[in-house]
Amino acid sequence: MKPALIDIIRDYQELAAKAVYIFRTKYQIDDILEGWHSGIYQQTGKLTEEGINFYAFHGIGLAVHFEDKIVDFDLAYFPEQRHDGFNLSRLISFIKNSVEKYSEYKNNEKVEKEFNELISNGIIENPKLEDSTFLYFFKDTLK
């Protein structure tokens, strides 16, 4: 069965969740950005025992290179920290880093078209938050 864009989004979210889980459990913290800002760990590095070959914190996000996948995600605050947000450019990068798995999504126009259909159909949305975000979330996960 060929993956749909929703499946790709869920794969992206699962990999982001895995990265967040590793940092939270290894360093016993809730806010992974605060861990970086307070010097608990470096901005870039690797956690090879946890399966992370390279990581880099940036702005409000984190890029993580696992052995066979790469995920780059930003965080949003609701006010609790959330890592399940996504946008078109992050998804396109995620797909390009796993092109064999998502071969029918090599065409960026196809990704953009289906992304816009998810918005039009009310499946994903960009929430209106006090601190604005450019991330989208599955509508059923928003309050």
Whether the CB-CB separation of 111 and 105 falls below 8 Å is answered with: yes
Give the Å distances, CA to CA, from 139 to 59, 72, 134.
25, 21, 15
CA 11 to chain centre: 9
In 3-56, where does DSSP find H-type helix?
Answer: 5-27, 32-37
The pTM is what? 0.93
For residue 36, the model assigns a pLDDT of 96
pLDDT string in tens for the chain (143-residue length):
667 999 999 999 999 999 999 999 999 999 999 999 999 999 999 999 999 999 999 999 999 999 989 999 999 988 788 999 999 999 999 999 987 889 899 899 999 999 999 999 999 999 887 666 789 999 999 87
For residue 8, the model assigns a pLDDT of 96
For residue 79, the model assigns a pLDDT of 79
**Residue spans of beta strands (DSSP E) within the chain:** 44-47, 52-58, 61-66, 70-74, 76-77, 81-82, 124-125, 137-138
For residue 49, the model assigns a pLDDT of 96
Verify cis geometry, omega within 30 degrees of 0, for the bond prior to 79. yes
d(CA 71, CA 91): 9
Hey, CA dihedral for 110, 111, 114, 116, is it positive or negative? negative
Residue type, 85: G
d(CA 130, CA 78): 8
> In the chain, what are the domain boundaries?
5-141
CA 1 to chain centre: 24
